[in-house]
Homo-oligomer: A and B are copies of this chain.
Amino acid sequence: MTEHHRLSGVFAPVLTPMRDDLSPDTERFVALCKSLLEDGCHGLVLFGTTSEANSLGLDERIALTEAVVDAGVSPEVLMVGTGLCALPETVRLTRHAVALGCAGTLMLPPFYYKGMSDEGLYRAFAEVFDRVADDRLRVYLYHFPKISAVPIGLDLIERLRASHGDVVAGIKDSSGDWANTSALLERFPGFGVFTGTETLMLASLRGGGPGCISATANINAAGLRELYDNWQTDDADVIDARVRAVRRAAETKPTIPGLKAVLARQLGDAGWLNLRPPLVGLDAAQQAELFAELEAAGYRLTRAAAE
């Protein structure tokens, strides 16, 4: 195994803009990636749940990834979602991300079949790792039981780490369950346990975690970065409370449509409202309610023109 860039900090699972014909809007996507990094994100997840990743085709994912790298974003700050149900597609996407030099891949388990044994999930991941067969591969397992409905338990992680070493670099723990996150941090010191929400970031940083990958980073990158930068200071709890208030406000509406509505409003760009079905946009009243909640939480809906 070669020594490799270790990911830490605030990561945004980047929203994927769609044109009116529902094709991915490469220009808006690249622009958002750059502005999120300028606003404070340490890195980006291309094709997480928030990105509508599973509604995208393979060719679309590949083209978007290449466009971001071609536009000058360093692949060393990119974690690319590559876990699909189908073995050959997962291998193809993962190889592509590794070949581009992306620092990590975020890998869902094959999520169609439910109730699979740890033995089956172990073989599924191991088969992908072995086929990719590249010592630059760094995988972050994607644990999101409420959506994937295929949880990734601690014994499975232990077995994968034992057989594949540094390839198994970490996990995105989107359980939202501190008991699970703290168990991961305690059992696997040094493992890259990203929380799936900033509301658990402070506790996880205090427990040795590397940071968070949170949907809300798409609209509050600066706030999350401030929390990350100050977690060891006396200001941490005050900043944490501000960040939580914004998160609570955002959670009053469905996440992805809500975040896209905020970007559309901030950027004065209705193109950001498009979503691929089965997601459905907020109506005008829902948008107004969301904006009011956010402003009440101290969130700025207008951006300075210079930004």
Which A residues are closer than 8 A to B by beta carbons?
A: 22, 49, 54-60, 85-89, 92, 109-114, 116-117, 119-124, 127, 146-149, 276-280
Contacts and interface: CB of A to CB of B under 8 A. Distances in A.
Contact of A114 (B57, B146, B277): B146
A276 B57 contact: no
B113 A279 contact: yes
B114 A149 contact: yes
Contact of A116 (B49, B112, B278): B278
A252 to B, nearest CB: 16
B87 A57 contact: yes
A297 to B, nearest CB: 25
Given A22-B87, A88-B60, A113 B54 contact: yes
A114 B49 CA distance: 11
B88 A54 contact: no
A86 B54 contact: yes
A109 B57 contact: no
Contacts of A113: 49, 54, 147, 278-279
B88 A123 contact: no
19 contacts: A54-B86, A54-B112, A54-B113, A55-B87, A56-B88, A57-B86, A57-B89, A58-B58, A58-B86, A60-B88, A85-B85, A110-B278, A111-B112, A112-B147, A114-B146, A116-B278, A117-B278, A119-B280, A149-B149
A57 B22 contact: no
Given A57-B88, A111-B112, 15 more contacts: A54-B112, A54-B113, A55-B112, A57-B86, A60-B88, A87-B276, A109-B278, A110-B277, A112-B147, A113-B278, A114-B149, A117-B280, A121-B277, A124-B278, A149-B149
Given A149-B114, A278-B109, A279-B113, A85 B55 contact: yes
Nearest to A114: B147
Nearest to A85: B54
A128 to B, nearest CB: 9
Contact of A280 (B55, B57, B120, B280): B120
**A22, A85, A92 interface centre (most CB from chain B within 10 Å):** A85
B279 A120 contact: yes
Contacts of A89: 57-58
